[in-house]
Amino acid sequence: MNNSKAFGNALSKIRKEQGFSSAHQFFKSVGGSKSLGLAFMSYWDMERGKILPKSWRLKAIMAALDIAPHTPRAQELLRAYFRALSGSDELIQFLAAPAAPAQNLPGRELAEAATHKALAQLTVNLTLDQWKARTRDLVTHICQCYLANTSGWVTVKELTDVTKFKPAAVKKALKTLEDGGLIELAKDKARGLFAGKMIQLLPVTPATAMVRHAIKKNWDAWLAGSSRVAMKRLTVRMTKAGLNVYRQHLAKAVNLSALYDSAEENRQASAIYLIDAGIFQVLPREVVKEEEA
């Protein structure tokens, strides 16, 4: 196996672990050439081991895959990249000690590895067109949220009861979701196609900006009338490096909530919650444009 092929295999493996079932789905979901700066066939050639990306382009691909720096997946991909460039692992070994075998991991790390594997099996990615469909308006967005977190068939009456939207608006939203390949529709009832799955958030790229803005707008409107269940606030002083490490811990904590998801739960004895974790720089004061969700 040549070194470019090994890099392609690593890229393909990580792409699948991130919830993208095919290279084409990944390419379309993150905004295509506008976000990655290359044509689909060029990206496909990377996964097939025919070409290696430039370093700046690899950075864009990692961002689109939502791979945070200093994480195991980032290290795996970068090792494969530098191995392809140098032809061996000889120099890479000077940078870090070999990873410990799984059986020798401390209990906490082993638990984290098992949790990460379980979450990877739950993760799915929507195409950009599917995101546009589900965020077309507030009614469509909330109906999709309910169906994505509820197993089995849901009637129009149930949706109107839990959302307080009018039946005509709900029916229109369901047709949009069906056309977008997000639900199955049968007369006056619908069934979500991703119930029990963890839908990966859109990557932050120029191509996804409008959709992310629509998501934020819809949630802001809906949360204005929702009850807060829990809140924890703390101000701390951190370096940029410390912040980056903490952000990884926070992301893991938010994703961990997916393990408690039970779409099959009795609907009268359960509710749907939005887990919303944010970090703000409050001092020194900087007036910046708020980033879309």
Residue 161, helix vs strand vs coil: helix
The pLDDT, as a whole number, for residue 267 is 86
Q: Do the beta carbons of residue 134 and residue 126 sit within 8 Å?
A: yes
| Across 126-144, average pLDDT | 94
Whether the pLDDT of residue 1 is over 50: the answer is: no
- Per-residue confidence at 258, pLDDT binned at 50, 70, 90? confident
**Do 245 and 127 reside in the same domain of the chain?**
yes
Structure tokens at 177: 């979701």
In this structure, of 30-44, 81-95, 125-139, 243-257, the range with the lowest mean pLDDT score is: 81-95
**Do 112 and 222 reside in the same domain of the chain?**
yes
For the chain, what is the mean pLDDT? Answer: 83
Whether the pLDDT of residue 167 is over 50: the answer is: yes
Helix axes 167-179, 156-163, angle to 10 degrees: 110
**Do 20 and 137 reside in the same domain of the chain?**
no
Residue 35, helix vs strand vs coil: helix
The pLDDT, as a whole number, for residue 249 is 84
Taking alpha carbons only, the member of 247, 260, 21, 255 closest to residue 117 is: 255
pLDDT-above-90 percentage for the chain: 34
| Across 164-184, average pLDDT | 96
- The CATH number that applies at residue 22 is 1.10.260.40
Structure tokens at 20: 């993208």
Taking alpha carbons only, the member of 73, 72, 92, 74 closest to residue 82 is: 92
CA 7 and chain centroid, separation = 23
The pLDDT, as a whole number, for residue 262 is 80
The pLDDT, as a whole number, for residue 221 is 94
- Per-residue confidence at 137, pLDDT binned at 50, 70, 90? very high
Q: Do the beta carbons of residue 177 and residue 134 sit within 8 Å?
A: yes
Structure tokens at 293: 């969700």
Amino acid at 96: A
**Do 288 and 204 reside in the same domain of the chain?**
yes
**Do 257 and 229 reside in the same domain of the chain?**
yes
Domain count, the chain: 2
| Across 185-189, average pLDDT | 92
Residue 86 or 159, more confident:
159
The pLDDT, as a whole number, for residue 96 is 54
- Kindly report the CA angle at 166 between 185 and 209, in degrees rounded to 5? 70
**Do 198 and 260 reside in the same domain of the chain?**
yes
Highest mean pLDDT among 184-193, 222-231, 272-281: 184-193
**Do 75 and 204 reside in the same domain of the chain?**
no
Instruction: State residue 28 phi and psi, 5-degree precision.
Output: -70, -40
Q: According to DSSP H, which parts of 180-269 are helical?
A: 209-223, 240-256
**Do 124 and 95 reside in the same domain of the chain?**
no
Full domain range(s) for residue 135:
107-293
The pLDDT, as a whole number, for residue 5 is 87
Whether the pLDDT of residue 173 is over 80: the answer is: yes
Whether the pLDDT of residue 118 is over 70: the answer is: no
d(CA 14, CA 11): 5
Strands 123-124 and 198-199: parallel
**Do 127 and 238 reside in the same domain of the chain?**
yes
| Across 99-103, average pLDDT | 49
Based on C-alpha coordinates, what's the Rg of the chain? 21
| Across 84-100, average pLDDT | 61
**Do 213 and 253 reside in the same domain of the chain?**
yes
